[in-house]
Amino acid sequence: MRLIALLGLLFMLPASAEEAASIDAQPDDGQAPELSSEHEEGNEPLEASPVAWEWLRAPGYDTLVCPFRGQIDYEPGEVECGLIRVPENREVADSRTIELNFIRIPARGEDADGNPVEVRPDPVIYLTGGPGVHADVYVSRLKDHSLVEQRDLIILEQRGIGHSGDFCPFFGDLNRAEQIHPDWHDSQLAALDVAARCIEDARARGVDVSAYHTFENARDVKALRLALGLEDWNVWGISYGSVLGQAYLKVDPEGIRAVVLDAIVPLDLQDLMRIAHWHDRNLEMLFAACAEQPHCRRVYEGLEQRYRSAIAAITEQPIELEVKPDERYPTGQAYLFQDLLVGLPFMLLYEESNHPAVPAIIDGLTRAADKRDETFFRAVALAEMRGGVGMSAGMSMAVRCLDGYVAGGAANAPREFRDHALLARAFGSEAAIAEADRMCREAGLAPRDPAQFALVESGLPVVVANGAWDPITPVPLAEYILPGFSNGRLAIFPHAGHGPTRSLDCAGDFMNGFFDDPTAALDEDCIEQGGEAAQYIAPYFQTSAMVRGLVMAEENRKRLRGHAIWAGSSWLISLIGAVVLLVAWSARVLNGQRLRFAGGSRLLVFLAAATATGYAAGLGAAAYATSEITEIMLLFGMLPWAMWFAWLAPASVLLAALGLVQLWRHRPNLPPASRLGLLPVILSVFSLAAAGLYWDLWPL
């Protein structure tokens, strides 16, 4: 799948390195900065001249109707938006001014139960991840976070992201025919061509792409604090936000009260870009944990070897599909590569809520690869461009080039391909990884001075947090940066994935307690018991219903609507029939009315209708419960108890058939109205069961 390849090369593998110069505290003389104009692309970046940050307070900020209004549900006063203006490049003279969008989520002043709590005066600035993820993603997720019970939460949409000047809004959507190749290496080179064009076009429009790096982002954070008139605030950064937080500690130490850094990216990158190495570690942890659970060990015996063999098979022979030509696949050809098999479990490990389903999903991927299941791969290809996290790929690419991610990937590639060749090939060919580094340099985005990447040394109170199951920023990276914080403490959440301070229910109270008194003991109960070890789904009810539905939705939506009407009307008639028969029987009992013997046909039809109704309702409940773990699981099946409801389909057919036989045998004892009433119910049961059989929802 080309998408994951692109992410692996340039952007989405979360957060990373840091850059730019360490900035001393700046004098406050009320004057605009004087900056040198001597700056050439490719040269070592200039240290920012002393800046009078106070000048940004003169205009303050503009209020703004939130750009995501109507897309995120919130009440008046629950979310506020604004704009600040900053220099695009503080390291050159006469830089143009750009506008940055920020969001404030005011403290609610009450807990989850509606009880009033004291609102604290010191807000929290949340440093977003990616780099490049749009701010509305965080607003949607964090507006109900328990941190906001007591403190205002402020989110800056970083430069080059979303409504803060995305300079490549159509990245990946341009000239799709040129991006589709049957060869894995060529598909990556095509992605690099898109990246190079992004930078070239942005520069032609007057964008100074050399200004889109982590230290300029950190200076923007300080500018926002001053524009809001705040003497200091608390800092919370996750993933790329953690490395931005480290840069911000250098830029604005006087404006910081306390810091929580989570999902750690070291400022000097260190071993971050050894993605295959860390993912191999994750898989070893996963299969070891599965082996400790009897059901998981039994159901998925030998899965690790089968999974690795499937990756190797797809690496050697990618999936080729003929699809209906459209704007995404203009040539009518689609190609899927080994990055799908590797990248999907990798990304699912980010959220601990997904973890119970990961072995089942690996099993499903392996089965699909072994059979080269065209329906499954067609569903994945057709769904590739739908939804997903809003991402400003141009900004992400600039940061990754300038901060050294891409160069770090190239430097680590020989070791990765030597030690973890199977997985490394899924994150990019070695030649393409080297080409990405060359592309950055030719585009004028050479890595900034490595000397500026020295790890932070600070006496500010800092919590360095990490999930033990974090797939991309693992615990060793958190342990690596901790010695630089003389007043720092390490918090490892044993069952969490990427960013436990964002995802765990107790995280808000954990952070509010720390921000209230950074010298007090941390909430160890939240660290140790805030999440539970995953209980893996084993076995699972296997069905292709979802992938077939996705394919039909893309290729013949009218037909899908017809199937929905078929199944829905059959279920509705069965439900009505069951209710009417039950009500009629109850009325007869109350009235003392006796009917002529009809061989139990009414009872059998009632039981058939009730069973059919339970079949559909039970599978619907199973699908919902499965989606609550992860919707991805539905591509392969549902929770194991769905099997019990699936058995109701053949049971309903048997009951309906018996009812039909008895109806025919005892028809003289049944009034015509009864015969006419029972027959449609019987037919609806048969029809619903047939729909279930067609959609692979029987226990076969």
- pLDDT > 90: what percent of the chain? 82
Looking at every residue in the chain, the average pLDDT score rounds to 90
pLDDT digits (tens, 9 = 90+) for 543-555: 999 999 999 999 9
pLDDT at 385 (0 to 100): 52
pLDDT digits (tens, 9 = 90+) for 281-330: 999 999 999 999 999 999 999 999 999 999 999 999 999 999 989 898 99
Task: Classify each residue of 589-628 as buried b or exposed e, where b means 16 or more C-beta atoms within 10 Å of its C-beta.
Answer: eeeeeeeeebbebbbbbbbbbbbbbbbbebbebbbeebee
Distance CA 505, CA 551 (A): 37
Q: What is the dihedral of CA 451, 452, 453, 457, to 10 degrees?
A: 110
pLDDT at 20 (0 to 100): 29
DSSP-assigned letter for residue 612: H
Region 18-42: mean pLDDT is 31
pLDDT at 39 over 80: no
Distance CA 192, CA 434 (A): 11
pLDDT at 389 (0 to 100): 66
pLDDT at 22 over 70: no
pLDDT at 594 (0 to 100): 74
Query: Of the candidates 196, 195, 167, 191, which has an alpha carbon nearest to the alpha carbon of residue 178?
Result: 191
Pairing of strands 233-238, 124-127: parallel
Q: 54 or 25, which is more confident? A: 54
pLDDT at 30 (0 to 100): 32
**What tokens appear for 682 in the block?**
């019987």
pLDDT at 472 over 90: yes
pLDDT at 241 over 50: yes
Name the pTM for this structure: 0.89
Distances (CA, A) of 51 to 252, 394, 549: 12, 27, 58
Q: Which residues contact 612 (CB under 8 A, 6 or more apart)?
A: 570, 571, 574, 648, 649, 652, 656, 684, 685, 688, 689
The DSSP annotation for 296-341 comes to: HHHHTTTHHHHHHHHHHHHHHS-EEEE----SS-TTSEEEE-HHHH
- 341 contacts 423 by C-beta, under 8 angstroms: no
The DSSP annotation for 88-137 comes to: S-TTSTTPPEEEEEEEEE---SB-TTS-B-PPPSS-EEEEP-TTTB-HHH
Distance CA 442, CA 603 (A): 79
What the chain holds in terms of domains, given with CATH numbers, is: 14-34+61-171+208-272+447-528 (3.40.50.1820), 541-694 (no CATH)
HEC letters along 650-698: HHHHHHHHHHHHHHHHCHHHCCHHHHHHHHHHHHHHHHHHHHHHHCCCC
pLDDT at 609 (0 to 100): 97
Helix, strand, or coil here: 623? helix
Tokens 């500690």 correspond to what residue?
A: 249
pLDDT at 1 over 60: no
Q: Which residues contact 422 (CB under 8 A, 6 or more apart)?
A: 308, 311, 312, 315
pLDDT at 50 over 80: no
pLDDT at 47 over 50: no
pLDDT digits (tens, 9 = 90+) for 90-141: 999 999 999 999 999 999 999 988 999 999 999 999 999 999 999 999 999 9
Q: 10 or 18, which is more confident? A: 10
Q: How many other C-beta atoms can be found within 10 angstroms of the C-beta atom of residue 638?
A: 29
pLDDT digits (tens, 9 = 90+) for 509-534: 999 999 999 999 999 999 999 889 99
pLDDT at 59 (0 to 100): 60
- 272 contacts 473 by C-beta, under 8 angstroms: yes
pLDDT at 7 over 50: no
pLDDT digits (tens, 9 = 90+) for 190-231: 999 999 999 999 999 999 999 999 999 999 999 999 999 999
Side chain identity, residue 244: L
Residues 375, 178, 195, CA angle at the centre, nearest 5°? 110
- pLDDT > 70: what percent of the chain? 91
- Entry field: residues in the chain: 700
Distance CA 239, CA 260 (A): 11
Lowest mean pLDDT among 43-47, 98-102, 260-264: 43-47
Distance CA 252, CA 460 (A): 12
Q: Which residues contact 31 (CB under 8 A, 6 or more apart)?
A: 52, 55
Query: Of the candidates 599, 603, 598, 620, which has an alpha carbon nearest to the alpha carbon of residue 688?
Result: 620
Region 260-269: mean pLDDT is 96
Distance CA 241, CA 245 (A): 6
Q: Which helix (H) or strand (E) holds 602?
A: helix 601-629
**What tokens appear for 659 in the block?**
């009812």
- pLDDT category, 388, cuts 50, 70, 90? low
Distance CA 115, CA 108 (A): 11
Q: Which helix (H) or strand (E) holds 62?
A: strand 62-64
pLDDT at 56 (0 to 100): 41
